[in-house]
Amino acid sequence: MNGSNGSERILRRFAASVKTVIAIFFLIPLVFTILVSVRPEAEPVTRGNIFFGSEVTWENYDRALIIAPWSMHYVNSVIFVAGVLLAQLVTVTCAAYAFARMRFFGRNLLLLIILLQLMIPSGVLLVQNFRMINTLGLFDTRIALMIPYWGSAFGVLLLRQTFREVPIELEEAARIDGANLVQVIRHVYVTNAIPAYLAFALVSVSSHWNEFLWPFIITRSAEIRPLTVGLNKLIKTTDQGAFYGQLMAGTLIVIAPLVLLFLLFQRQFVESFARSGIR
C-alpha cells in the first residue's frame, strides 16, 4: 500500500462522512414531522423527552382525517398534476425541438422572452390570469386549474439543451430512411432524452403537487380542489393558537405519495438528474 492510496482513502472517508452529516440535516425535518405527529397534543416537545411523548398516539391523525375529505382531494391532486404534466410533455417537446433544430426569424428573441417568464413571480399575474379564465368561462373548473401551467419555460430550456446534444447525424439518417417530423422527434429526440424527461417530470409533479395559491383562487367547489387546500384547513387556526400534532399529521398525509414515489424510484431519479445536468 503506498502513500497516495492511503490519502485517497482518507479523502473518500471524509467525503462520506460529510455526505452523511448533510443527509442527516436534510432528514431532520421529516423525522421531526413524524415524531410530532404521533405525540399527544398536550405535550409540547420542549417538555419531557424530546423524541417521544408519554405515549405514541394516533389521535392527531384521527382529527386531521376528519377535517378534510382527503380521498377526494387526492384524486383531484392526481388529476391536476397528471393533466399538467401530459400537456407540458407535448408543448415542451415541440418547443424544445423548434428552438434546438429549426431556424426561423426571431428565434433568439422568442427564447429570451420564454427565459424572462422564469423571472416573473406568478403572484403578480394573479388578477390578469383570473380575468382571462373568467372571460373564457372556465372559472371553477379543472381545466382552469391546469391551463396556466401547460407551458413550461424550465422544461423548454432543459429539453432544448438535451436535444442539441443529440448528434444531428441521427436525425439526418432518420430522414433518409423516410421518417417525418413527428417520427424524428419521437424516435430520435425523445428516446435520447428520457433522463431529462424523467427529471422534468419529477420537478413538475412535485411543484404542482405543492401548488396552493392558484388552485385556491380559481376554484370554489370542494369537489375539484387539490390536497393543499385541505392542508390549509389545518394550518390556519389563528384564533386558537397552533395545533402542531394535527398539522404534522396533515402534512404527512399530503406528502406521503411523493415521498413513497421518491423512495421507490430513488436510483432512477438520482441518475436522471445527474445525466440531465440539473443539480
Partner 1 sequence: MNRLCKSLVLITALALLMTGAVIAQDDIVIDFYFPSATANDAEGIFQRYADTFEERNEGISINPVFTGSYTDTRNTILTELQGGGAGPDVAVMLSIDLYSFAEEGYIVPAQGFIDAMDDGGAYINDFFPSLMANGVDDMGNVWSIPFQRSTPILYYNADLLAEAGYDSPPTNNAELVEIAQALTTDDRDGLLVPVAGGFPIWMYQSFAIAYGRNIVSDDPTEVYFNTPEAVAAVEFVRSLGTDLGVGPAGGAAWGDTPVAFLAGQAAMIYHTTGNLSRILDGADFEVGVWYLPSGPAGDDGAGYGSPTGGGNLYIFDDGSKSDAELDAIWKWVMFLSSPEIQADWGATTGYIAANATAWETEPLASRAMEYPQYGVARDQLQHADKEFSSYATITIQGIINKTLESILTGESEDAQAAMDEAQAQIDGILAEYK
Rounded distance between C-alpha atoms, residue 60 and residue 15, angstroms? 40
Q: Where are the beta strands (DSSP E) in 15-134?
A: none
- CB closer to partner 1 out of 76 and 272: 76
Rounded distance between C-alpha atoms, residue 233 and residue 252, angstroms? 14
Residues 193, 162 contacting (CB under 8 angstroms): yes
Contact code string over 41-60 relative to partner 1, x by CB under 8 A: xxxx-xx-------------
Secondary structure of residue 199 in the 3-state scheme = helix
Which segment (19-27, 130-138, 171-179, 265-273) binds partner 1 by CB under 8 A?
Answer: 130-138
- Binding residues among 81-120 for partner 1 as defined by CB under 8 A: 82-83, 86-87, 89-90
- CB closer to partner 1 out of 44 and 151: 44
Give the distance, in angstroms, between the CA of residue 267 and the centroid of all CA atoms in the same chain: 17
Contact code string over 191-230 relative to partner 1, x by CB under 8 A: -------------------------xx--xxxxx----x-
Q: Write the burial class of residue 226 (CB in 10 Å: 0-12 exposed, 13-18 middle, 19+ buried).
A: buried
Rounded distance between C-alpha atoms, residue 258 and residue 8, angstroms? 37
Secondary structure of residue 201 in the 3-state scheme = helix
DSSP state for residue 193 in the 8-state scheme? T
Rounded distance between C-alpha atoms, residue 93 and residue 186, angstroms? 9
Does the protein bind partner 1 through residue 242 (CB under 8 A)?
yes
Does the protein bind partner 1 through residue 22 (CB under 8 A)?
no
- CB closer to partner 1 out of 203 and 217: 217
Does the protein bind partner 1 through residue 173 (CB under 8 A)?
no
What is the closest distance, in whole angstroms, from the C-beta atom of residue 162 to partner 1 in the complex? 18
To the nearest 10°, the Cα dihedral for 153, 158, 162, 165? Answer: 90
What is the closest distance, in whole angstroms, from the C-beta atom of residue 16 to partner 1 in the complex? 38
Does the protein bind partner 1 through residue 182 (CB under 8 A)?
yes
Does the protein bind partner 1 through residue 127 (CB under 8 A)?
yes
What is the closest distance, in whole angstroms, from the C-beta atom of residue 270 to partner 1 in the complex? 26
What number of CA atoms fall less than 13 Å from residue 266's CA on the CB side? 4
- Binding residues among 132-151 for partner 1 as defined by CB under 8 A: 134-135, 139-143, 146
Q: Which parts of this chain interact with partner 1 (CB under 8 A)?
A: 41-44, 46-47, 63, 66-68, 79, 82-83, 86-87, 89-90, 126-131, 134-135, 139-143, 146, 182, 186, 216-217, 220-224, 229, 232-244, 246
